[in-house]
């Protein structure tokens, strides 16, 4: 997305009308608060009930698009969503339950080993391996290591050819391939989504491709969280505001 398209000071979106909407939801920072450790995000009755209602009302036009693995998506949402794109789009589960996954990059094991070596310097650094397709270095609990962590990830990306996915207090090295935007386009080409207006809701810079894809297809992007430069056209203040907006949808 071109920097010229990024803006700040966005308005809140209007109440969501579900009738002709195809809804794409990020998970962490959108449906669930960011936790100190990825494994600390647990199922929540309010969230599960909301997503179950949305899935039923939208009649198949709902997908979760997340950097999480499919297993984590299903754990956190208690299996209430079928259509999902995981690991930023490298794994996709279609509405009929079929799963498609990219082939792992051969250099990924080298990156995993290098990040584990780096993480040994501080107990607050967490290495998260994702379905053999990606590895993330979290430094939310070791903020003084942020610059060194990002530099390490940049170096490994150059050396290995892995794609560097920067995020909120995380640097991720993943197999090159599909993005969240590609996942939106793929779902929108399916019969259950076709003809609807895509709405992508996400919080992080990893969601910018999703905003762009939804808006190129005639829909909108809704950014969740503090004001920042984004390609989305609307903003909600935080996870609670996002949940309340979705709960009010008709």
Q: Residue 140: name the closest of 151, 128, 126, 152 by CA.
A: 126
93: left (phi over 0), alpha (psi -120 to 50) or beta: beta
Burial class (CB in 10 A: 0-12, 13-18, 19+), 164: middle
Q: Is the dihedral of CA 51, 135, 132, 101 positive or negative?
A: positive
Please answer whether residues 176 and 79 qualify as being in contact, where contact means their C-beta atoms are separated by less than 8 angstroms.
no
**81 within 8 A of 73, measured Cβ to Cβ:** yes
Instruction: Give the orientation angle of helix 239-247 with respect to helix 45-58, to 10 degrees.
Output: 40
Going by C-beta distance under 8 Å and a sequence separation of 6 or more, which residues neighbour residue 133?
Answer: 87, 90, 91, 101, 102, 104, 105, 108, 174, 175
- Taken in order 3, 8, 11, 12, the sign of the CA dihedral is positive
**Catalytic residue annotation:** 26
Structure tokens at 157: 């990306």
């Amino acid at each position: 997305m071109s920097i010229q398209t990024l803006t700040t000071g966005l308005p809140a979106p209007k109440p969501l009308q579900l009738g002709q909407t195809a809804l794409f939801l990020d998970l962490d920072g959108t449906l669930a608060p960011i936790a100190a450790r990825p494994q600390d995000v647990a199922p929540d009755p309010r969230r599960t009930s909301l997503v179950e209602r949305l899935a039923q009302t939208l009649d198949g036009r709902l997908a979760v698009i997340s950097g999480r693995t499919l297993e984590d998506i299903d754990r956190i949402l208690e299996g209430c969503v079928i259509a999902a794109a995981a690991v930023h789009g490298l794994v996709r589960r279609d509405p009929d339950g079929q799963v498609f996954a990219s082939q792992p990059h051969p250099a990924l094991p080298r990156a995993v080993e290098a990040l584990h070596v780096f993480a040994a310097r501080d107990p607050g650094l967490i290495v998260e391996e994702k379905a053999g397709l990606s590895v993330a270095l979290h430094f939310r609990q070791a903020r003084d290591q942020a610059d060194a962590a990002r530099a390490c990830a940049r170096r490994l990306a150059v050396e290995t050819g892995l794609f560097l996915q920067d995020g909120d207090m995380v640097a991720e090295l993943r197999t090159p391939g599909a993005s969240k935007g590609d996942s939106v386009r793929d779902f929108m080409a399916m019969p259950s989504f076709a003809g609807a207006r895509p709405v992508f809701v996400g919080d992080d810079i990893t969601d910018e491709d999703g905003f762009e894809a939804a808006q190129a297809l005639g829909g909108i992007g809704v950014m969740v969280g503090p004001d920042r430069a984004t390609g989305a056209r609307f903003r909600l203040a935080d996870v609670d505001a996002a949940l309340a907006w979705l709960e009010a949808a008709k």
